[in-house]
Structure 1
Amino acid sequence: MVDPASFDRFAVEYDRFVELEGNTGWLVGLGLRGERALDAGCGAGQAAVRLAEGFDEVVGVDLSAPMIELARRKRARSNVEYRVADVFAIEDGGFDLVYSHTMMHHLPDYRAGLEHLKSLVRAGGTVAIVDNVSDRWPTPPRWVYLLGAWLGFPRQLARRGIRDAWFEFRFWHSRPWLEHLASDRYLSRSQFREVYDDVFPGAQYTDVGFALAMRWTAAG
């Protein structure tokens, strides 16, 4: 039986979807630079290549082999290493930046994942995490996504043209993507702040609409 949480079934389509959505704006705005960065749940490498502009070495980690294959083929850089691995298997640590974008809600133990990412950052380094939140439903029903796709189509058509807008509209309606979304379980904004405040005292937050972004600097 295919795991609905897996990205393997729609890796190519999801890569294009992420390119259209452009999910690295908040990260780029932080202006972080250093020697080593980790992108936990890197997908096809969109954020990893942006990190490669400011860090000497970037490690991108993802469970999905098809996503890592795409990253290696489309976004290879001399200072980026892509690994097919569970984030809990990363033990080399000492990163100046530990970054994750919309990966945390896929972990079976959310808090343990946060603690592990925290353990990988060096003194004075930064942990930066973005994850989906939902205040009304831990798992939003299918109709929420479909309604959003219908309501957003005219705007996307004006912004991107018929080809890309139609692709995105169809992607929102695709069975593998909807089955994946049905396997997700999100924290509310208040739950997010509660657990992150506990693990990362003094963390700073930015509301990015569908998600909350957290930035925390380890004591030097």
Structure 2
Amino acid sequence: MLKTNRKNLNKYVAFDTFATEYDFAATLQNKNDFFLKNLSSSKGAALDMGCGSGILASELAKYYDRVVGIDISEKMLEIARHKRAAPNIEYIQMDVGCLEFDRQFDLIVSASTFHHLNHLPTTLQSIKKLLKPQGKAVFLDNVSEVETPNPMVYIAGASREFASDCSKYGFRNASRLFKFRTSPSWLKHLASDRYLPEGRFKKIYGRYFPGCYFVKLDCFMGVIWENL
């Protein structure tokens, strides 16, 4: 049986309702460079927390002997297994807030997942225990001085970026992306998000990963820490 925090489950299962369109958007707006530039020195095993449809996990599989991707949304995992399967990737349905592993990893990554958690410190402490000596933790998550921005902020942002999206992705793809970003289901999901302000974000992550590096990337904050 899936072990999970009920509040986390309600948030993540929302991804089941728009999994296909989320995969389309995430594939189009690939943000994997940050992770691929910060791989661990040892390339044994990697863990992708909140792997979604496997976009990052499939990239990590090119460098690591074994990759485990976990996500609470079974629909997202179905897409991952269908589109991004590989002999050295294992996709598991698991709540990132209730980690259950009897093994350690050389690299642990997570992209835009931790702001969904109700007990972030507990998860961060668990991650440290799962890292091998000399292992590396690399995270990327949203930061905002407003805990939950008004939905109109997202609609305005999608509208403002439509022209540049057309240039980057073509009109058809940009139109589909705009439709998803302004859809009621996606906006409803965003209304449940709780972002940390930059100062508090650094304080929390710095407490559990002393000496970590922070990298600001637009509305995201990157965290890099080595278990030395």
TM over 0.5: yes
Of 7, 17, 26, 2:25 maps to 17
Question: CA separation in 2, counterparts of 1:159 and 1:58?
Answer: 31
Q: Which amino acid aligns with 1:26?
A: F
Partner residue of 1:93? 103
Sequence identity percentage: 37
Q: Which amino acid aligns with 2:188?
A: E
Q: What's the offset of the Cα at 1:4?
A: 5.3
SS of the residue aligned with 1:34?
Answer: coil
Partner residue of 1:198? 207
Alpha carbons 1:4, 1:179 under 8 Å: kept: no
Of 175, 181, 184, 1:175 maps to 184
Q: What's the offset of the Cα at 1:31?
A: 4.1
| Count of residues paired in the alignment | 217
Partner residue of 1:123? 133
SS of the residue aligned with 2:47?
Answer: strand
Of 110, 113, 127, 2:123 maps to 113
Alpha carbons 1:43, 1:71 under 8 Å: kept: yes
Question: CA separation in 2, counterparts of 1:15 and 1:48?
Answer: 13
Q: What's the offset of the Cα at 1:158?
A: 1.4
SS of the residue aligned with 1:108?
Answer: coil
Alpha carbons 2:140, 2:220 under 8 Å: kept: yes
Alpha carbons 2:47, 2:107 under 8 Å: kept: yes
Partner residue of 1:69? 78
Runs of 4+ in structure 1 displaced over 4 angstroms?
none
- Greater mean deviation of Cα atoms: 118-127 or 89-98: 89-98
SS of the residue aligned with 1:187?
Answer: coil
SS of the residue aligned with 2:138?
Answer: strand
Mapped pair 1:187 → 2:202: no
Mapped pair 1:7 → 2:15: yes
SS of the residue aligned with 2:37?
Answer: helix
SS of the residue aligned with 1:114?
Answer: helix
Question: CA separation in 1, counterparts of 2:142 and 2:219?
Answer: 6
String of CA shifts for 1:32-66, please: whole Å, max 9, x gaps: 45100000000000000111011100000000000
Q: What's the offset of the Cα at 1:205?
A: 1.1
SS of the residue aligned with 2:44?
Answer: strand
SS of the residue aligned with 1:42?
Answer: coil
Q: What's the offset of the Cα at 1:93?
A: 3.2
Q: Which amino acid aligns with 1:161?
A: G
Q: What's the offset of the Cα at 1:68?
A: 0.4
SS of the residue aligned with 1:129?
Answer: strand
Q: What's the offset of the Cα at 1:106?
A: 0.9
Q: What's the offset of the Cα at 1:92?
A: 2.3
Alpha carbons 2:70, 2:94 under 8 Å: kept: yes
Of 43, 58, 68, 1:49 maps to 58
